[in-house]
Chain A
Amino acid sequence: MVGYASTDGSSSLTSGVIDIVGIDRRFSSQEETEIHALHDINLKIKGGEFITLIGPSGCGKSTLLRLIAGLDQPDSGHISLDGDVIKGPSYLRGLVFQDPTLFPWLTVQKNISVGLVARKILKGNEGEVDALISMIGLEGFKNAFPHQLSGGMAQRVALARALINKPRVLLLDEPLGALDAFTRMHMQDEILSIWKSRRTTMIMVTHDVDEAIYLSDRVVVMSPRPGKIQEIIDIPMGRPRPRNHPDFFRLRSRILETLHFAESDYTDLTYNL
């Protein structure tokens, strides 16, 4: 099912291709003020690509992610996965929120099994659950309940739960937003290694410019009112990416400039460090 495209020899896959065409989404609130959440969004995402969506709050990045997940429908335009128009949620598009949203009444093991139970294919696939538990390094917490886990552990379980169905696309809505800086950097590496071993298309919403550069092939910068794509920035660095590399800094200042958080002309400033 999943294979490398043979023609161009690049790493893009024939599976997990997302095509976003002319998306518009408006929300009408009760005060008759209409919120134009997304306007004319067009984006082609290659199979196995790592994309981050970045932008100030209100730019519609989470709305876009929900549309891809099938949890919301656009007012016009359409999104397709591998040629099939998305009409509702499906196990082919896994989802991880900032809040792990683990089912508190299920143990770690059972939380991860939910996808298999829901699709009635748990029997015979219990080994995959165990494999994921050891991948996230929580063998000792197999029978623990979510309230007994730390934030980082809970988010690992949420990732494993989304991966159990071998989704073609993994949608990550600020998955590391609630973690402390060090746990966060560890988790970024874990997400990268998951991505490398599974070649899943990753679409991640983040507020963190460094995270976007560290992880993604392309950074999609969005702007609000109405939410639209402002710029798409390629990250042509090989991985692992040294966070202190001059190119890393250059890309960061470019993204910050796009977001209007940095001045492009600072040559006359010196700090004598």
Chain B
Amino acid sequence: MQTIFSIAVDALAYGMVLFVISIGLSVTMGLMRVVNLAHGAFAMIGGYIASYAARDLGLGYGFAVLIAVFGTILIAIPVERLLYRRIYGAPELTQVLMTIGITFCIIGITNFVFGPTLKTIPLPAELQGSVDLGFRSIATQRLFAIVCGLAVALALWYLVERTSFGIKLRAAVDDAAMAAALGVKTEIVYAVSFAIAVGLAAFGGVVGAELLPVEPYYALRYMVTFLVVVSVGGAGSIPGALLACLLLGGIDTAGRYLMPEFGEFFFYLAVIAIVCIFPRGLAGRAK
């Protein structure tokens, strides 16, 4: 019984970290219809900025997170205006080629600027160490990641479903020409949602850094994981992504505990099964 609880707690923590990192990609792919393979690269930039702010400038963790999110958005805005704007609505292949190219450029630049070694983001005293749950202990940072995941999920759901910006965004996605004719400034809507997606990537990169350490090849190393989460959850669906993360986190964690020698067999088996039954993901919308 204790083992089951223990696995459940680990699965929840892992799933939420996955969620925080991947949800930005779900937004770009589902709402903006851009296959953004450079998502991990933006997460990595966030991690680097936070690491630089906290380690080299000695700023507090909260400040470092804020600087990381806004710094990454600042970097991303010119990239959006110059490069991404050209590929909205373009065929998937064009998008994939363009964004993988951006990824390689970012990898090269970070490798040159920050060097190939691992970078850590020092945690504040409150997030270090572990909390005793009674039947086991869990790292405080993991609890923090769980809370962040829930907060992000709620805030995004509210933004997309309950605000006028969300309505405009959904309108622009479904029929850009009609939305524009009705007075929605689609360019601005797209730019803002791109900024939100990038900011979420950076946030995820920082919060998830304990699990996925920041180094130049981050963007490529975890690209498959991010894409799997989005395709299983259904692109653009916040509850879908949340469900997918918890499900995949659970399967992965249980598999690793019970039969580590099978590696990621169960993880990918589950992915194949889900994608077979729900080709658009768990909560994907028909086109």
Partners in one complex: no
Interface residues in chain A, defined as those with a beta carbon under 8 Å from any beta carbon in chain B: none
